[in-house]
Amino acid sequence: MAESRSRLDQPRESGHAPRVRVDAEAFGRWTEKLARYFGTARYLVIQTVFVVAWIAFNVVAVTTLKFDPYPFILLNLAFSTQAAYAAPLILLAQNRQTYRDRVQSEQDREEARQSKADLEYVARELAAIRMTLGEVATRDFLRAELARIEREREDARELLGES
């Protein structure tokens, strides 16, 4: 036991530290919704109205009611905090979209491979059918052969009849 506590290549075991479990998929869906909302005109209008109201209140209000006088440090802190959280959430949403695009691209490539293999198979089958049809006797070929045989027969009769 004393040896395992002094080893630096192994993490310490802590029996009393609570672990927070987060459903990564649910969190990812939530970040995508939030990222989509940050990109809307509605969000920009609401944020603009909020900032204008904040500044107007802190400029016009009585001195005792001003909670964030000019240069509006609390407002800057709120925006900094929002940006600190919004940027990673948007990046997470983009990473999830990139992963979905990669999976879709792989599926598209596999479908294209399968389609190409199917097309090649059909082309080979069509070539085999054409070759087989090339060996099949046509009506004109049969008529010509029958006419040739008839001529040979007549020639043979003439030779036999003359002898």
Question: Does residue 1 lie within any of the structural domains?
Answer: no
d(CA 11, CA 17): 13
pLDDT in tens, 26-70: 888 888 888 888 888 998 899 999 999 999 988 888 777 888 888
For residue 66, the 8-state DSSP code is: -
Peptide bond before residue 18 is cis, with ω within 30 degrees of 0 = no
Which structural domain range is residue 34 located in? 21-123
Placement of tokens 């080979």 in the chain: 124
Question: Does residue 128 lie within any of the structural domains?
Answer: no
Helix (H) or strand (E) holding 33: helix 24-38
Question: Does residue 74 lie within any of the structural domains?
Answer: yes
Q: What is the pLDDT of residue 118?
A: 95
Question: Does residue 129 lie within any of the structural domains?
Answer: no
- What proportions of the chain, in percent to the nearest 5, are helix, strand and coil? 80, 0, 20
Q: What is the mean pLDDT of residues 108-123?
A: 95
Q: What is the mean pLDDT of residues 94-119?
A: 94
Question: Does residue 139 lie within any of the structural domains?
Answer: no
Judged against a pLDDT cut of 80, whether residue 131 lies above it is answered with yes
With a CB cutoff of 8 Å and minimum separation 6, the contacts of 83 are none
Question: Does residue 163 lie within any of the structural domains?
Answer: no
With a CB cutoff of 8 Å and minimum separation 6, the contacts of 67 are 58, 74
Question: Does residue 134 lie within any of the structural domains?
Answer: no
Question: Does residue 10 lie within any of the structural domains?
Answer: no
Give the total number of structural domains in the chain.
Answer: 1
